[in-house]
């Protein structure tokens, strides 16, 4: 899989956009979600007095069978606080080469916490092996940073890390007394694909970051869950990182609504991604990889730019990386958008 690009200005805007496959982060709050936000009971969350935030934190802690939860504005801040709750300055953590924490969170763990990443090589699904975990841990020596933490991610570029695989990697970390953090930005997608609850993954790790603003469709918000000690440390770190908010229950209400109404719909996102893959299966000039709600589409080098121009001309947005493009299905992608994408691509190759 390709590396991920920096944010770029969209070549389309407004009514010119007919289907936006760039990410599941582009979803808009539904009318019902906006109504729930407007009606939310709120208080001062810095004082721990926002009842809607407290309810959301408690609910996700219960769903993952963890002791506590903590609301964050973003998954990046949640992951940063989680890593720094386990690692001090000069400590090392193990992480996969294509992990979001490593590639797409601005080096915050090193810049703000002095935590040192040690990169584990991954396969085409973003997975590393338990053996790689063992080999990554440093022996006690004054020349090496002490290894404190293993960072996992699920899904990885849409690919599910199975419960058994995640458990095996976590078990390898435990043999070296490492803590384990899971970036579960799309853990609900992984759980849906596996047909299990998110607790089946969470029981093998110390902390989990759960994003509400991707497939679940909330406009903002992530909840970090874990043991009480880690969450207490993360609470202090959240304040230090500028993440203490006041009457944020209006936003937490969007997360509660998403948990009530949007979790089951992830199956529809996966099914629509599969429909696109099936619709493009007969296009010999394309390599198509399906991974839950993501499609990784690689055209021939001499087709890439012309295909991008063709898609944009028909009002279709995606992450037009080279050589491989990414298309993501989500709450705002319906059957019409799926049909538009398939027909537009097939017309290009007709």
Contact between 219 and 254 under an 8 Å Cβ cutoff? The reply is: yes
Is the domain of 187 the same as that of 91? yes
Beta bridge partners of 290: 295
Do 287 and 336 belong to one domain? yes
- Residue by residue, pLDDT tens for the chain (350 residues) are 444 444 456 887 778 999 999 999 999 999 999 999 999 999 999 999 999 999 999 999 999 999 999 999 999 999 999 999 999 999 999 999 999 999 999 999 999 999 999 999 999 999 999 999 999 999 999 999 999 999 999 999 999 999 999 999 999 999 999 999 999 999 999 999 999 999 999 999 999 999 999 999 999 999 999 999 999 999 999 999 999 999 999 999 999 999 999 999 999 999 999 999 999 998 999 999 999 999 999 999 999 999 999 999 999 999 999 999 999 999 999 999 999 999 999 999 99
The helix (run of H) or strand (run of E) holding residue 191 is helix 187-194
Nearest to 91, CA basis, from 175, 150, 169: 150
Give the span between the Cα atoms of 341 and 314, in whole angstroms: 9
Nearest residue to 177 (alpha-carbon basis) of 221, 213, 210, 147: 147
- Which pTM was predicted? 0.95
**Residues 233 and 150 occupy one common structural domain:** yes
The span from the CA of 224 to the CA of 235, in Å, is 10
Are residues 102 and 125 both part of a single domain? yes
Q: Answer yes or no: are the C-beta atoms of 245 and 73 closer than 8 Å.
A: yes
Q: Which domain holds residue 18?
A: 14-27+264-349
Q: What is the DSSP letter of 5?
A: P
> Based on C-alpha coordinates, what's the Rg of the chain?
21
Same domain, 268 and 214: no
237 and 315, same domain (yes or no): no
Backbone angles phi, psi at 224, to 5 degrees: -95, 125
* Residues 220 and 273 reside in one and the same domain: no
Q: Output the domain CATH number for residue 122.
A: 3.40.640.10
- Please state the domain count of the chain: 2
| DSSP, res 214 | S
């Amino acid at each position: 899989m390709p590396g991920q690009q920096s944010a770029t200005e969209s070549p389309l805007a407004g009514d010119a956009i007919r289907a936006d496959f760039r990410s599941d982060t582009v979803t808009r709050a539904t009318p019902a979600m906006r109504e729930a936000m407007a009606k939310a009971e709120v208080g001062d969350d810095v004082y721990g007095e926002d009842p809607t935030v407290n309810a959301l934190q408690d609910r996700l802690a219960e769903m993952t069978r963890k002791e506590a939860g903590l609301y964050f504005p973003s998954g990046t801040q949640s992951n940063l606080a989680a890593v720094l709750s386990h690692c001090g300055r000069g400590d090392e953590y193990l992480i996969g080469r294509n992990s979001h924490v490593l590639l797409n969170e601005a080096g915050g763990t090193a810049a703000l916490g002095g935590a040192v990443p040690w990169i584990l090589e991954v396969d085409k699904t973003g997975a590393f092996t338990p053996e790689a975990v063992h080999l990554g841990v440093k022996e006690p020596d004054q020349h090496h940073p002490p290894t404190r933490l293993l960072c996992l991610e699920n899904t990885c570029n849409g690919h599910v890390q199975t419960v058994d695989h995640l458990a095996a990697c976590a078990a390898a970390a435990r043999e070296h007394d490492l803590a384990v953090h899971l970036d579960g930005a799309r853990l609900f997608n992984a759980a849906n694909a596996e047909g299990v609850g998110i607790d089946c993954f969470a029981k093998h790790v110390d902390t989990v970051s759960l994003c509400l603003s991707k497939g679940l469709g909330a406009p903002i918000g992530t909840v970090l869950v874990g043991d009480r000690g880690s969450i207490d440390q993360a609470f202090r770190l959240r304040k230090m990182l500028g993440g203490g908010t006041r009457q944020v229950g209006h936003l937490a209400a969007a997360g509660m609504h998403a948990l009530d109404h949007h979790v089951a719909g992830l199956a529809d996102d996966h099914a629509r991604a599969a429909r696109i893959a099936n619709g493009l299966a007969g296009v010999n000039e394309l390599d198509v990889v399906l991974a839950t709600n993501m499609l990784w589409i690689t055209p021939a080098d001499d087709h890439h730019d012309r295909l991008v121009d063709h898609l944009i001309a028909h009002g279709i947005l995606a992450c037009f990386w080279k050589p491989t493009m990414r298309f993501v299905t989500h709450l705002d992608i319906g059957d019409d958008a799926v049909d538009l994408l398939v027909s537009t691509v097939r017309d290009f190759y007709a």
